[in-house]
Amino acid sequence: MIKLTVNKQMYQLDVDPQMPMLWVLRDVLGLTGTKFGCAVAQCGACTIHLNGEAVRSCVTRAERANGQHITTIEGLSKDSSHPLQKAWLEFDVPQCGYCQSGQIMTAAVLLREIPDPTDADIDDAMSGNLCRCGTYQRIKKAIHRAAGLQKEGVGHE
Amino acid sequence: MNNLTTDRRSFLKSGAILGGGLLISFVIPPKLRGLLASDTESAAVLVPNAFLKVNADNTINIFLAHSEMGQGIWTSLSMLIADELDANLKDIRVEHAPAAPEYKHTIVDFQITGASTTTYSEFDRYRYAGATARWLLVAAAAKKMGVGFSDCRTENGFVIAGGKRIPYGELVGPAAKLTPPAKIALKKPEEWKYIGHNIRRLDGLPKVNGTAVFGIDVKGDDLLIATVVHSQVIGSKIDSYDDSEAKKVPGIVAVLQVPTGIAVLARDYYTANKAKKLLKINWSKSDYETFSSQDLTESSKLLVEADGMPAVKKGNVDLAGFKAWKTVESTYTFPYLTHVPMEPLNATVKISSDKKSCEIWTGTQLPGNEQAVAAKILGISPGQVKIHTTFLGGGFGRRVNPQSDWVTEAVEIAKASGRFIKMIWAREDDIKGQYYRPQYVHKVKVALNEKGLPEVWHHNLAGQAIYQEHGWVFNVKNGIDQSSVEGMADSQYLDAIPNVFMGVHTTKSPVSVLWLRSVGHTHTAFVMETMIDQLAQVAGKDAVEYRRLLLSESPRSLAVLNLAAEKSGWGKPLPEGHYQGVAVQASFKSYVAQVVEVSLDQANNIIVHKVTCAIDCGLNVNPENIKSQMESGIVFGLSMAKYGEVTITRGRVDQNNFYDYKIVRMNETPVMDVYLVPYTGQEMGGVGETAVPPLAPALANALFKATGRRFHSLPLMNQFINTTKS
C-alpha cells in the first residue's frame, strides 16, 4: 500500500511499488496533465514535483513517493494563475502543447530557487525538457516575464 | 517562372479557385446535424453550415475541418469566422469536426491537414461560413425589430439597430428558419478586426494547465491499455510465441496476436509494458536481414552517375560540348529521418457490443482515412465509424499516413480482444516504426560562364518516391514524384539558367517512407542553396549579391532575401570568429530567407548564435503565430541539420530513443529574429513548414566561412565537427 499526497489530496493506493509515478498519476489517478514522452528521463514531458523538487515521473517509482508530497500541473495553481502560466499565455508559448506541462513544472522550481534567472540559468535548468515544436525562445522569454510577475506579487503562490 | 515545371503550382492554383466559396456545403445532412448538436441541446440553435453553430446562450461552436497540431489553426480559422460574424472571441468554442464529406479539403478531394495549406485553402470557405450566419442573424433581427436589413449593424455578438441591441442567442430560432442568399458580400480588409492582427492562441489555456486532451489522455470506463511488441527486423513475422511468463504478471488481462505483433492488455501502461518484456517470440526469417541503409546510399551514388527520368529539360544539357569557364561538381547524401512528435502514437478504440459501430479517438491529420480503414477491418460502413480527433501532440507529417498504421493496429487489437482499448506506442516503437523521410543522393554538375554565372545545371537524384508508394498519384507528374523534386525542379534559380537537366532515379527499399515537415524541400533546398553558395564563392562574389543576380525575375524571393540580409546586418562587421550564411527557399507558395550566424568554440563545437528570418506568405492572418511557426521551423531544421539520422543495419533500425535520435535542446537554440513582409495583395501561401528548408543550407554556408569546408551531407554530427556543447 502506497500512501501519498497529490496536489494536497491524500491517497492510499494498492499499486505495485515499482510502478513509475507517471503511470500512477495517469492510469490510476486519472491525472493526465503529466505526459509520457520517452520513459527514460530524456525528454522531461513527465516532470512533477516531489516534495517541491522537479523529478522525472517516468523513472520515479511509487515507493519513492510513499509518504511524500507530489504536485502535478493540475495542482500548480487553482485557476491557472501561476506567474508561469500567465506568462506562457502572454507569450503564446504552447504550439502542440504536449511538452508544456513538463516545461512549466521544471520552470517553477527554477523560479523558486533563482527568482531572477539569467539566460544561462534558464538554459541550465530547462535543457532537460525537449520541445519538438521548438518553443524554446518563447519559454525563455516567458520565464523572464514570470520572474517579473513573481516579484510584483502577481498570481497564485 | 519556369514554365516547364509548374504542374504542382497550377494544380494548387486551380484548386484554390475551386475553393473560392463555391464548395461550401450549406446544406447540413440530418446525420451530420446530429453529430454537431450536443445531446442536451434545446431546439433553438442556428446551424447555418457545417462549420459553425450559434447557440441560444450566445456561444458559438466552430468546427475545424483541419487538425490542430501546434500550427495555430485552432485560432486562425476561428478568426476567419469571427471576423465575418462579428463575434466576440470569448464566446467561441472550438472543436475538431468529425470525419465527414462536408469537411473535405478545398483543394484535394478528402479531409486532410497538410502541405501547409490550411489557412489559405480555408480563407474563403470559413469567411463565407461566418458571413452566412451573420446574414441570417441580421435578417432575423431586422424582422423582429421591424427595420430594414441595411438599418442593422453587428458588433461583438449583437445585432444593433437604432438604440436597440439584440444578442445573437436570442435570434437563433427565427434565423434558423430563413434561407441565406446565394451570394453574400465579404468584408473589406479595412473592416477586419481579427484578421491581420495578433490574436493570442485560443488553445493556450488548456495547454498550460494540463486540461488539453490529446489522444493519449482519453479516458473511459473499463478502458484497457494496450502495448505492442513489434518485430525488430524489417519484414520479420511471428512464427510462434510463449506468453506463459507474461501472463503471470498480476493485472494482465489479455495477450493476443494481431497482424503487426503481439498486444498486451492491462489496466495500466506499466503493467502492460512489464508483461510485454516477458514475451518469448520466435520471429520468422526475413528477406531483409541483410539490408543496410549504408548499402542503399552506396547503390544510389552509382545511380546518380547516369541520367534519370527527366523532371526538367531545357536548352542544351550536354556538358561535354560546353566550353565552361569553370565547373563545379558535388555529391550530396541525406539519411532517413523520423518525425518524433512528443506525443507517442496512440489510438483509443471502442467497438459497440453488436459490432456494428465503432468510435475512435486519436490525433490524426487524416480522419477520413482512419475512418475508412477501420470500417474495412470491422466489415462495417464508414458512416458507422465515428472519429474523434483530439489535439495532436505534434504531427510533422507522421500523423498523416495513408496506411493508417497506428489506427489499423489499434482497431485490430480492439477487434481481436473485444475490449475497449487505448493502444500506446513506446518511444522505441515510434523511432523504429519506419514511415521515414527517405534517403536521397544528389549529384550536381554546374558549368559557369566567364561572368561566373551558371550556364548549364546538370542534376540527378536517387530516392524513394513517397507519393507513389502511397498511391497518391495526384502528386506524381509524368512519372516524377513531386516529393523527390519539389524545391529544385521549380526552383526560381532555374529561370536564370539557360541549360538545365534534372533527372530522377526512383529507388525501392523495404523501408516504408512518409512526408516529413517540408517534404521534398528538406533535401532539395539544401542541395540548391549550398550549390548556389559554392558557385558564388567560385565566382568570387558575395553570397547575397550573387543570389540577387539570379533572382532578379523573382521579386518575392528577392524581397525576403533583401529583408533578411538587411535585418541580419549582412556584410557588416561581426564579433570575432562569427560567420554568417544565407539561404532562401520558396515552398508551399511562400518565400522564406534566413541568415544564420555561427561560431566554433575551442573544441570545434558549432555554436549557432542567431537566425534572422524573413517570410512572405501574402496576407499575414495572425502575425504573431507566423513568427511562432518560423521559430518552430528553425529549431526543427536545426535538429535535422545537426542530428537527424535513422540508420538500418542488417534489417534493424539502430536508433532507440531520444538519447540516440537527438533533437535540439534549449541550450543550443539560437536567438531568432523574424520579419514578415507586409501584405500588399500578394497571393497567400503556407506557413507551417516553410521555415524548415532554408535553415540547414544557411547553416552549412555559414560553416563554410567558419571552417573553409563545404558540407555536402547531413547530418553534421557525422562530419568531424562537434555539434553539441557538453
B565's enclosing H/E stretch is: helix B555-568
Helix (H, G, I), strand (E, B) or coil at B575: coil
Residue B43 pLDDT: 59
Condensed to tens digits (0 to 9), the pLDDT of residues B541-552 reads 999 999 999 999
Residues of A in contact with B341 (CB under 8 A): 96, 98, 132
Residue B316 pLDDT: 87
Residue B270 in this model has a pLDDT that exceeds 80: yes
Q: What is the DSSP string of B589-634?
A: TEEEEEEEEEEE-TT-BEEEEEEEEEEE-SS-SSHHHHHHHHHHHH
CATH class entry, domain A2-75: alpha beta
Chain A contact present for B665, CB below 8 A: yes
Smallest Cα distance from B222 to chain A, Å: 12
- Cα–Cα separations (whole angstroms), residue A130 to A82, B430, B461, B662: 22, 16, 34, 10
Closest of B625, B623, B621, B687 to residue B124, by C-alpha: B621
Closest of A56, A18, A63 to residue A38, by C-alpha: A56
- Determine the Cα–Cα distance for residues A130 and A44; give it in Å rounded to an integer: 6
Residue B11 pLDDT: 31
Alpha-helical regions (H) of B219-365? 244-247, 269-276, 293-303
Residue B324 pLDDT: 87
Residue B719 pLDDT: 79
CB A36 to CB B269 under 8 A? Answer: yes
Q: Please state which CATH number belongs to domain B215-286+345-424.
A: 3.30.365.10
Long-range CB pairs of A120-125 (<8 Å, 24+ gap) are A122/B666, A123/B666, A123/B667, A124/B667
Per-residue b/e over B335-356, b at no fewer than 16 CB within 10 Å? bbbbbbbbbbbbbbbbbeeeee
- Determine the Cα–Cα distance for residues A40 and A50; give it in Å rounded to an integer: 18
Alpha-helical regions (H) of B50-156? 73-85, 118-145
Chain A contact present for B666, CB below 8 A: yes
Report yes or no: B690 and B613 within 8 Å, Cβ to Cβ: no
- Determine the Cα–Cα distance for residues B253 and B267; give it in Å rounded to an integer: 8
* Nearest CB to B342 within list A73, A96, A122: A96
- Determine the Cα–Cα distance for residues B282 and B599; give it in Å rounded to an integer: 52
Smallest Cα distance from B720 to chain A, Å: 24
Residue B266 in this model has a pLDDT that exceeds 70: yes
Q: Where are the domains of chain A?
A: 2-75, 83-152
Q: Which of A86, A92, A124 to mutate to test the interface with B (most CBs of B within 10 A)?
A: A92
CB B269 to CB A129 under 8 A? Answer: no
Averaged pLDDT score across all residues of chain B: 93
Residues of A in contact with B71 (CB under 8 A): 95
CA end-to-end distance (rounded Å), chain A: 32
- Cα–Cα separations (whole angstroms), residue B112 to B402, B473, B597, B631, B725: 10, 16, 37, 24, 40
CB A132 to CB B211 under 8 A? Answer: no
Q: Greater confidence, A79 or B44?
A: A79
- Cα–Cα separations (whole angstroms), residue B355 to B377, B385, B419, B456: 11, 11, 11, 63
CA angle, B202 then B204 then B208, to 5°:
160
Chain A contact present for B340, CB below 8 A: yes
CB A88 to CB B204 under 8 A? Answer: yes
Same fold, B7-207 and B293-337+436-718: yes
pLDDT average, residue stretch B575-589 = 98
Place of cell 511468463: B245
Helix (H, G, I), strand (E, B) or coil at B457: strand
B491 φ, ψ to 5°? -65, 135
With both helix axes pointing from N to C terminus, report the angle between B692-707 and B521-539 in degrees, rounded to the nearest 10. Answer: 40
* Nearest CB to A127 within list B201, B666, B671: B666
pLDDT band for B621, please (50, 70, 90 cuts): very high
Chain B residue with minimum CA distance to A83: B208
Bond into B715 cis (ω within 30):
yes
* Nearest CB to B201 within list A73, A92, A132: A92
Q: What is the DSSP string of B534-559?
A: HHHHHHT--HHHHHHHHTTT-HHHHH
SS3 annotation, B470-524: CCCHHHEECCEEHHHHCCCCCCHHHHHCCEEEEEEEECCCCCCECCCCCCCHHHH
Q: Which CATH number fits domain A83-152: 2.60.40.420, 1.10.150.120, 3.90.1150.10, 2.60.40.1120?
A: 1.10.150.120
CB B219 to CB A30 under 8 A? Answer: yes
Q: What is the DSSP string of B630-649?
A: HHHHHHHHHHHHHT--B-EE
CA angle, B695 then B701 then B707, to 5°:
130
- Determine the Cα–Cα distance for residues A150 and A152; give it in Å rounded to an integer: 5
Amino acid at B508: K
Residue B27 in this model has a pLDDT that exceeds 70: no
Residue B356 pLDDT: 98
- C-alpha grid cell for residue A89? 499565455
Condensed to tens digits (0 to 9), the pLDDT of residues B112-160 reads 999 999 999 999 999 999 999 999 999 999 999 999 999 999 999 999 9
CB A36 to CB B396 under 8 A? Answer: no
Cα B510 from chain centroid? 24
- Determine the Cα–Cα distance for residues A69 and A51; give it in Å rounded to an integer: 5
* Nearest CB to B426 within list A39, A89, A131: A39
pLDDT band for A153, please (50, 70, 90 cuts): confident
Condensed to tens digits (0 to 9), the pLDDT of residues B468-482 reads 999 999 999 999 999
Condensed to tens digits (0 to 9), the pLDDT of residues B637-647 reads 999 999 999 99
Q: What is the DSSP string of B365-426?
A: S-HHHHHHHHHHHHTS-GGGEEEEE-B-S--TTTT--TT-HHHHHHHHHHHHH-S-EEEE--
Chain B residue with minimum CA distance to A97: B207
Report yes or no: B617 and B196 within 8 Å, Cβ to Cβ: no
Those of residues 366-425 in B touching chain A at CB distance below 8 A are: 391-396, 424
Smallest Cα distance from B531 to chain A, Å: 28
Residue A156 pLDDT: 57
pLDDT band for B718, please (50, 70, 90 cuts): confident
Those of residues 271-310 in B touching chain A at CB distance below 8 A are: 271
Give the up-direction half-sphere exposure of residue A15: CA atoms within 13 A in the CB hemisphere: 30
- Determine the Cα–Cα distance for residues B319 and B317; give it in Å rounded to an integer: 6
Residue B725 in this model has a pLDDT that exceeds 60: no
CB B70 to CB A97 under 8 A? Answer: yes
CB A23 to CB B209 under 8 A? Answer: no
Closest of B298, B292, B435, B335 to residue B645, by C-alpha: B335
Residues of B in contact with A27 (CB under 8 A): 225, 267-270
B448: which strand partners?
A: B326, B454
Q: Which of B69, B71, B207 to mutate to test the interface with A (most CBs of A within 10 A)?
A: B207
Chain A contact present for B225, CB below 8 A: yes
Smallest Cα distance from B106 to chain A, Å: 24
Q: What is the DSSP string of B267-287?
A: SSHHHHHHHHTT-EEEEPP-T
Q: Which of A47, A133, A143, A149 to mutate to test the interface with B (most CBs of B within 10 A)?
A: A133
Smallest Cα distance from A157 to chain B, Å: 15
Residues of A in contact with B275 (CB under 8 A): none
A2's enclosing H/E stretch is: strand A2-6
- Cα–Cα separations (whole angstroms), residue B166 to B47, B56, B142: 19, 12, 10
CB B270 to CB A16 under 8 A? Answer: yes
CB A40 to CB B672 under 8 A? Answer: no
The arrangement of strands across the sheet holding B671-676 comes to B579-587, B590-600, B606-616, B671-676
Chain B residue with minimum CA distance to A103: B208
Condensed to tens digits (0 to 9), the pLDDT of residues A61-78 reads 999 999 999 999 999 999
Condensed to tens digits (0 to 9), the pLDDT of residues B173-222 reads 999 999 999 899 999 999 999 999 999 999 999 999 999 999 999 999 99
Longest dimension (CA), chain A: 44
Report yes or no: B228 and B429 within 8 Å, Cβ to Cβ: yes
- Determine the Cα–Cα distance for residues B439 and B222; give it in Å rounded to an integer: 43
For A151, counting Cβ atoms within 10 Å of its Cβ (0-12 exposed, 13-18 middle, 19+ buried), the class is exposed
Residue B37 in this model has a pLDDT that exceeds 70: no
Residue B317 pLDDT: 81
Chain A contact present for B658, CB below 8 A: yes
- Determine the Cα–Cα distance for residues B668 and A128; give it in Å rounded to an integer: 12
Residues of B in contact with A98 (CB under 8 A): 214, 341-343, 391, 393-394
Condensed to tens digits (0 to 9), the pLDDT of residues A14-64 reads 999 999 999 999 999 999 999 999 999 999 999 999 999 999 999 999 999
B601 φ, ψ to 5°? -85, -175
Chain A residue with minimum CA distance to B431: A38
Residue B12 pLDDT: 33
Per-residue b/e over A108-141, b at no fewer than 16 CB within 10 Å? bbbbeeeeebeeeebbebbbbbbbbbbbbbbbbe
Residues of B in contact with A88 (CB under 8 A): 204, 208
- Determine the Cα–Cα distance for residues B63 and B66; give it in Å rounded to an integer: 9
* Nearest CB to B208 within list A89, A122, A127: A89
Question: What are the residues whose beta carbons fall under 8 Å from the beta carbon of B348, sequence distance 6 or more?
Answer: B215, B218, B220, B223, B360, B361, B362, B410, B420, B421, B422, B423
Report yes or no: B514 and B436 within 8 Å, Cβ to Cβ: yes
Chain A residue with minimum CA distance to B632: A134
Question: What are the residues whose beta carbons fall under 8 Å from the beta carbon of A118, sequence distance 6 or more?
Answer: none
CB A137 to CB B671 under 8 A? Answer: yes
B7: which strand partners?
A: none
Residues of A in contact with B340 (CB under 8 A): 132
Closest of A52, A126, A123, A47 to residue B210, by C-alpha: A47
Those of residues 23-82 in B touching chain A at CB distance below 8 A are: 69-72
Q: Greater confidence, B33 or B553?
A: B553
Residues of A in contact with B251 (CB under 8 A): 16
Chain A contact present for B337, CB below 8 A: no
Q: Which fold has domain B7-207?
A: Aldehyde Oxidoreductase; domain 4 (3.30.365)
CATH class entry, domain B293-337+436-718: alpha beta
- C-alpha grid cell for residue B335? 539519411
Residue B433 pLDDT: 98
pLDDT band for B17, please (50, 70, 90 cuts): very low
Q: Where are the domains of chain B?
A: 7-207, 215-286+345-424, 293-337+436-718
- pTM for the complete prediction? 0.95
Residue B42 in this model has a pLDDT that exceeds 80: no
Smallest Cα distance from A74 to chain B, Å: 6
CA end-to-end distance (rounded Å), chain B: 47
CB B427 to CB A39 under 8 A? Answer: yes
- C-alpha grid cell for residue B277? 518484456
With both helix axes pointing from N to C terminus, report the angle between A119-126 and A100-113 in degrees, rounded to the nearest 10. Answer: 130
Report yes or no: B120 and B618 within 8 Å, Cβ to Cβ: yes
Residue B475 pLDDT: 92
Residues of chain B with pLDDT > 70, as a percent, come to: 93
Smallest Cα distance from B223 to chain A, Å: 10
